Chain A
Amino acid sequence: MTSSPITEIISRTSTDNLSSVVAALNAIKKQQPAFKHSVKVFVLRNYTIEGIDPYLQFHLYKNEINVEVKYGDYGVVSQYLLDPDSALYDFKPDIILLSLHLENFAAENNLPGWDGTDTQERMISLLELLKQKTSALVVLNNFLLPFYSTTGITNSAALPNRAETISHVNLALNKFSRENASRFFVVDWNMIMMRLGSERSIDERYWYLSKAPFKKEFLNAFATEFSKIITALKGLNKKCLILDCDNTLWGGIIGEDGLEGIKLDNDSYPGKVYYDFQKSVINLYNRGVIIALCSKNNPEDVFEVLEKHPHSLIKKEHLATTRINWNNKAANIDELVKDLNIGFDSVVFVDDSDMECDLVKKALPDVTVMQVPVKDLFAYTNMLMKDGLFDTLTFSDEDRSRTKMYQSETLRKESLSSFDNLDEYLHSLGIVVDINEVQSSSAPRVAQLTQKTNQFNLTTRRYSEADIHQFIADDDKLIYSLNIKDKYGDMGLTAVLILARQNDIGIVDSLLLSCRILGRNIEIAFVQYCLAAATQKWNIKTWEAEYIATKKNVQTANFMEKFGFHVTDENPAGKSYRCLANELVVKDLTYIQINNG
């Protein structure tokens, strides 16, 4: 195992016990670890929220994210936003947590006559202020619904119903965040409350003593939900789910029990547990997660279940690829992941067997291995959902059609073998690329690519959607995107180049490509086209670029050299480059048709 000391400490600590969490954090801090990621959070609040601190650190350390939290003064919110010299702007947070408690925001909320209108308006104008004055990602919570009705059992238009009013305000918050998706996120306090119940959530003692309303379990759950958003922002979400079959997708062994004998149905135990698990897999597929199978079976047995079993929700069309054979599973997964061209740390593997789980953990320590909870099978239904491992900030058309793209990639590879030489094959693909200056409508996808592309990424600079909008408006920045299709399908917006200028010097700020389009020299066609276009547009004399080394982007280490860039500085952290604009090398790539908009 290559697991770090941090993950080792975290993995043997339970969040049930505050002392254990604090002890774990102290132990981690004493090691002064070099975190891979870091994030700065500013908290605007009107109640005592500091108790969340240990839990927030704990859940972020788990993903090797260091966190620096600064709390705004109690009850001071819009002042921080309106004063350009405030501690908020001074701190330059990546994320602003706006955590307001209704009791302190609208004390009149449980008095007769409250209809929520004023509360909603004040909330929305606060959100507008955050949107205009800051560029940070904003996380807010909604308001808790009441535990008892203030109007008793009466349902009358003359007595406004408080629960209904709060729901309306909450819906308005949701609507605002949806309209500003990728910048505003709502953590649903009521969902946490439903899960835990008020007994385990609310601390009346400290609410009345210190305006600290929540017990540790609620704070832990709130921190967990908040951490999911931060983890997704850092591009650390999982992208691929690899599943075993027997006793994972259904109960029993297909090779022995047969199609009628396996446990998979919609109305009995344990068949329904597997059915519900398949539902959660289908939901992930629908959100753009790559689904693959890796099992020791006869392939025809497995496909018979997928195609013929009345309760198999998972069908062949949901699968990007499969490895159904009798080989070593770690070797199968290794090959499968390399084939998909994704990182091992973005993969989750689910299996019921101790032995197989152990084998994969040892051989592929970066893969997240989850074992079917054989002894507590009821926990299986929500196993994939509760930690938010696959959560992404946004959802794009590319996410929706990802599996189709991988399936057509398999077809491309198969057809390759029927050609004598690569050039002939590439010509046969009929590649058409559209290269465009990015418009606002593509900003979510462009931001998403900067956040999650790890391998073919020259500088690995992560940008928010707000950053991208700023670049679009900035005359000294240019963002190019590339859409690609061929005879097997449309792969969508899969490459981004961000350029900046200082007088007649052009700077390559970012260059990233989705790995699934590599192997066709698309990246060369893209960069040479854009550099030529920008040279002309800006009248550039000299281009500068840099390569910033990370654990994963070694394949871009010698990329800029291909265009005639020469190295001006080189050290373990990366390289700096320069190239005269009139000395840029241009390759002839006749099999790629370039359109521009």
Chain B
Amino acid sequence: MDSNNIQRAKNVLATLFDISPDEINETSSPDTLPAWDSLGHMHLVVGLEEEFGIQLSVEQTLNMMNFELVCSTVQEAIDAK
């Protein structure tokens, strides 16, 4: 994923979890961000779909359990468009 898209993904997380984009790195996950709970995860899926104009499958939503996986999953969905 290019740096522009990574920044866009960071901004989605930052907005939905009400934190600064700078606080997010590859290992950010539900374990490190308190707002990333099960509801937060549903919001994250919706937010990423809005931002990138993609549709994520059940498997993809289950797979995105840290920020690195968010980026690779979103890239996969972009490529499939």
Enumerate chain A interface residues (CB-CB to B < 8 A): 17-19, 22-23, 26, 48, 50-51, 53-54, 205-206, 208-210, 212, 216
Q: Can you list 7 A-B pairs with a CB-CB distance of less than 8 A?
A: A17-B50, A22-B18, A51-B39, A51-B42, A51-B43, A53-B39, A205-B61
Nearest chain A CB to B12's CB is how many angstroms away?
6
Q: Is B33 an interface residue (CB 8 A)?
A: no
Q: Which of A22, A206, A212, A216 contacts B15 (CB 8 A)?
A: A22
Give the complex CA separation of A54 and B18 in angstroms: 13
B58 and A212 contacting across the interface, CB-CB below 8 Å = no
B16 and A19 contacting across the interface, CB-CB below 8 Å = yes
A19 partner residues in chain B, CB cutoff 8 A: 12, 15-16, 47, 50-51
Q: Is B80 an interface residue (CB 8 A)?
A: no
A210 and B38 contacting across the interface, CB-CB below 8 Å = yes
Q: Which of A22, A50, A208 contacts B58 (CB 8 A)?
A: A208
Question: Which chain B residue shows the least CB distance to A209?
Answer: B58
Q: Is B46 an interface residue (CB 8 A)?
A: yes
Q: Which of B18, B46, B57, B61 contacts A18 (CB 8 A)?
A: B46
Give the complex CA separation of A205 and B12 in angstroms: 21
B62 and A209 contacting across the interface, CB-CB below 8 Å = yes
B61 and A209 contacting across the interface, CB-CB below 8 Å = yes
A210 partner residues in chain B, CB cutoff 8 A: 38, 42
A23 partner residues in chain B, CB cutoff 8 A: 15
A51 partner residues in chain B, CB cutoff 8 A: 39, 42-43
Give the complex CA separation of A216 and B62 in angstroms: 19
Enumerate chain B interface residues (CB-CB to A < 8 A): 12, 15-16, 18, 38-39, 42-43, 46-47, 50-51, 56-58, 61-62
CB-based closest 8 A-B pairs? A50-B39, A19-B47, A18-B46, A23-B15, A19-B15, A26-B18, A205-B58, A22-B16
Give the complex CA separation of A210 and B61 in angstroms: 12
Nearest chain A CB to B49's CB is how many angstroms away?
9
B50 and A18 contacting across the interface, CB-CB below 8 Å = yes
Give the complex CA separation of A235 and B81 in angstroms: 49
Nearest chain A CB to B11's CB is how many angstroms away?
8
B46 partner residues in chain A, CB cutoff 8 A: 18, 216
B15 partner residues in chain A, CB cutoff 8 A: 19, 22-23, 26
A212 and B16 contacting across the interface, CB-CB below 8 Å = no
Question: Which chain B residue shows the least CB distance to A29?
Answer: B18
B39 and A18 contacting across the interface, CB-CB below 8 Å = no
Give the complex CA separation of A51 and B37 in angstroms: 12
B61 and A22 contacting across the interface, CB-CB below 8 Å = no
Give the complex CA separation of A17 and B52 in angstroms: 12
B16 partner residues in chain A, CB cutoff 8 A: 18-19, 22
Give the complex CA separation of A19 and B48 in angstroms: 9
Nearest chain B CB to A373's CB is how many angstroms away?
26
A50 partner residues in chain B, CB cutoff 8 A: 39
Question: Which chain A residue shows the least CB distance to B58?
Answer: A205
B58 partner residues in chain A, CB cutoff 8 A: 205, 208-209
Taking A22-B18, A48-B39, A51-B42 as known contacts, 4 extra A-B pairs with beta carbons closer than 8 A to each other, sorted by chain A number, are A19-B16, A22-B15, A22-B43, A205-B61
A22 partner residues in chain B, CB cutoff 8 A: 15-16, 18, 43, 47
A18 partner residues in chain B, CB cutoff 8 A: 16, 43, 46-47, 50
Select the residue from B18, B39, B42 with max chain A CB neighbours within 10 A: B42
A212 partner residues in chain B, CB cutoff 8 A: 42
Give the complex CA separation of A583 and B16 in angstroms: 63
Give the complex CA separation of A312 and B11 in angstroms: 54
Question: Which chain B residue shows the least CB distance to A54?
Answer: B43
Give the complex CA separation of A54 and B51 in angstroms: 18
Nearest chain A CB to B43's CB is how many angstroms away?
6
Question: Which chain A residue shows the least CB distance to B47?
Answer: A19
Give the complex CA separation of A51 and B47 in angstroms: 12
Select the residue from B16, B38, B43 with max chain A CB neighbours within 10 A: B43
